[in-house]
Structure 1
Amino acid sequence: MTRAQLWTKDFVVGIGLNLAMSMVFYLLMTSMAGYAVARFSAGEAAAGFASSSFVVGAVVSRVLTGKYLDFIGRRKLLIITMAVSILASVAYMFADTLVWLLVIRIIHGIAFGAGNTAIMTAIQSVIPSSRRGEGTGYFGTATTLSTALGPYLGVILPRAFDFVMLFGASAFMSVVAFILCVAIKLPVQELSEEQRRSKWHFKISTLVDPDGLRIGSIMLVCGTAYAAALVFLAGYAADNGVPAAASLFFVAFAVASLVARLFVGRMQDALGDNFVIYPVFVFNLAGNILLAVWPTMPGIILAGVFVGLGFGSLMPCMQAITVKSVPMHRVPVATASFFLLLDAGSGIGPIILGAIMPLTGGNGMFMLCAGLVVVAMILYFSVHGRRRGGRPGREYLH
């Protein structure tokens, strides 16, 4: 039997689109707090909100996008949201008050959340169902690349030039994403009778999906743990006398994630979810323990490798599980629900852990993050692993 074709033109264009879109997110997320302080003399809380308000906008839009994506059209929504992203990137240059900056950030976040939900949903109609885990893993390599390149450029561009250059880079990547939105061809999803009937009914079931929330809850916990590295690792490494280790952590994370995604998805398709997911949790756990007990240059770099193999592999694997768990007409809502909780972990995690850190110190905080990974593993066993995590079978046919 011949294998279903994965590497089509539209799949490759989709990977490029995901890369360009994710670059915009990480370019600005790492530098916006500093910009708010430098440009508007914002306080610590306001500067933090200048960064996280983007996530607030994304969370709001994901809820509605899941419901209305196929009424608007997946390709059409992608084009609209990337046009808004271009305008928002340019508008940053003209924001003359902190309030206007926050407004633009929220609007930009709404556009990103809608567009990201659209492409994450639409690409599943391009990936053959028999290669779902493999294709989702390859598609996710674009996000992995952006997690390394985006923060790096977000620091380098303002330092070497100015923030206008940073916003120009954001606008450029948005233009690239817009062009790819025009180029990609996506199958039109036929609306079910249930969708047509519920178009203007705002019931919970039409806005969120139980399976998306079930699997997304695991990402909420693990995303909270990873947010600690994103936000606090630079200061933690500096406090331990190895400031350069933080950037090398993310390089190691990106390389390990890219290598893992070349084979993890294929193993998930062939051998089942549990065969992949439990080792992924163990790698993630080991990485956080290393950060807590060995905050040296080699220890932090090795932790980056383990977290890359762990958390870096977890998201595409869990997204594949979410998509396989629901009928195709529920994929938009399930995908939106999944990323809604992932965003919540990334946005709320730093606030909670930042409040705890003065009590625990950096070592205690990363050990707490290791505990969160254990909680996520138990949660996975409870909601999926013990019932549907074995070898692929009839439970996913729909």
Structure 2
Amino acid sequence: MENKHIYTTSFVLLFVSNFFVFIGFEMLLPILPAYLLTINASSVQVGLVTSLFTVGAVCIRPFVGYYLIGNRRKPLAVAACAALMIFTILYPFLQVVWLFLLLRIFHGIAWGGSTTANSTIAVDLIPKKRLGEGMGYFSVSTTVGAIIAPSLGLYIYDSYSFEALIGSSAMISLLAVITLLFIPAPEFEKGEKQPFRFFSMIFEKEAWFPALLAVITTLAFGAILTFLVLFGKQQGLSHIFLFYLINATGATIIRPFTGKWYDRKGPWSIIISSAVLGFLSMIVLSYATNDFHLITAAILFGAGYGTVMPSLQTWAVQKVSKEKSGAANATFFSSFDVGVGISAFTLGILAKWISVGSIFRIVSISFIVVALLVYKDYLQEKKS
């Protein structure tokens, strides 16, 4: 008989471990470019810190997704999480720039393996009829972890040292490994494997539509990651941290309701409604001149983007058979990485000619595009 509960011991332990994974990894992101300058790296090499990590993550996910078809998930999750810890420890010992950048590729590989394996285990643990709700809860570990981590990393680096930051990140990664070890190996469905094809595995064919929507939606998130701090300085917003804090809080509070909505009504209405909120959040943010505007934008963004992304991940997984959930998760996370990469590159060029507020208004259109595409899909589904 299928388990009907979401909050099992295994699910809670996986949630905690994934939370530690995201904090341990992402607390390094705002610091590594600055640290690389201290070992005489050029501006081009500093830019490669993010690019090479993305290359490693995107390239490994097809292999991870393929491996997870018909194989146990836990050993790979533990190995990838342990690799994150080991690669983190190595950073202070690499004073040669090209070795440092090479490590970024391997760190990206470990990250791609860990996030894909953890999400696939989550799918195994959640009752099928409550997948939207369960993945919504699970995504809180990624959302909150990713938002807390940069501020925590900056605080440790500014208050202590780079070595203290590395030690803290490694300890948090170790906690993630230990927590994973206590999770009983979840049951999974074995499936017949087709021959491995790299490019087709980057985007699982059956999950292409949610993956495409994830790329488009992530353009707005990439703009927030890249320009929010700069925007705060331009607008005289001294409490920019409020956006991150309220965004995470809002996304967490609304998640139980949106997950149940998804399970009852399907993906269309929840994604369209959330995309509209995401559009409004970027418009409000682009004109923000005080904390009230900032808080309003954060609430809307948390409810909008914070609902669209877990809904798209759930939709991607539901479009494939359960044994291929690893491939679907690999596709989803690769789409996220591609979206952030495209956003950072193209918007970085645009920023030379237009204001950050204008950039936010431009990327707000991505939410409208998503809403229109989903509505078109709904009409096609209704007709068929």
* Shorter-chain TM band: over 0.9
Q: Which TM-score applies when normalising by structure 1?
A: 0.91
Residue type of the alignment partner of 2:5: Q
| 1:360 aligned counterpart, secondary structure | coil
- Asked if the contact 2:62–2:201 (Cα under 8 Å) also holds between the matched residues in 1, the reply is no
Q: Does 1:236 align with 2:231?
A: yes
* Corresponding residue of 2:248: 254
* Corresponding residue of 1:270: 264
* Corresponding residue of 2:306: 312
Note the residue ranges of structure 1 that are not aligned, 5 or more in a row.
none
- Asked if the contact 2:131–2:263 (Cα under 8 Å) also holds between the matched residues in 1, the reply is yes
Note the residue ranges of structure 2 that are not aligned, 5 or more in a row.
none
Show the 5 A alignment for 1:58-207: 58-70=57-69, 73-193=72-192, 195=193, 198=195, 201-202=196-197, 204-205=199-200
- Among 268, 292, 299, the alignment partner of 2:293 is 299
* Corresponding residue of 1:347: 341
Aligned in 2, Cα 1:217/1:233: closer, same or farther, shift over 3 Å? same
Whole-angstrom distance in 1 between the partners of 2:252 and 2:141: 9
Whole-angstrom distance in 2 between the partners of 1:112 and 1:388: 36
Q: How far has the Cα of 1:370 moved from its partner?
A: 0.8
Q: Does 1:385 align with 2:384?
A: no
* Corresponding residue of 1:56: 55
Q: How far has the Cα of 1:203 moved from its partner?
A: 6.4
Q: How far has the Cα of 1:188 moved from its partner?
A: 4.2
Q: Which TM-score applies when normalising by structure 2?
A: 0.94
Whole-angstrom distance in 1 between the partners of 2:374 and 2:323: 25
- Among 188, 200, 210, the alignment partner of 1:215 is 210
Deviations 1:223-261 (A, max 9, x none): 11111111111011101112x232111111111111111
Q: How far has the Cα of 1:204 moved from its partner?
A: 4.7
Q: How far has the Cα of 1:147 moved from its partner?
A: 2.2
Please report the RMSD computed on the Cα atoms of aligned residues, expressed in angstroms. Answer: 2.0
- Asked if the contact 1:288–1:367 (Cα under 8 Å) also holds between the matched residues in 2, the reply is yes
Residue type of the alignment partner of 1:215: P
Deviations 1:298-349 (A, max 9, x none): 2122111111111111111111111111111221111111111111111221
- Aligned residue pairs total 383
Q: How far has the Cα of 1:72 moved from its partner?
A: 5.2
Of residues 333-342 and 202-211 in structure 1, the stretch that sits farther from structure 2 once superposed is 202-211
Aligned in 2, Cα 1:9/1:241: closer, same or farther, shift over 3 Å? same
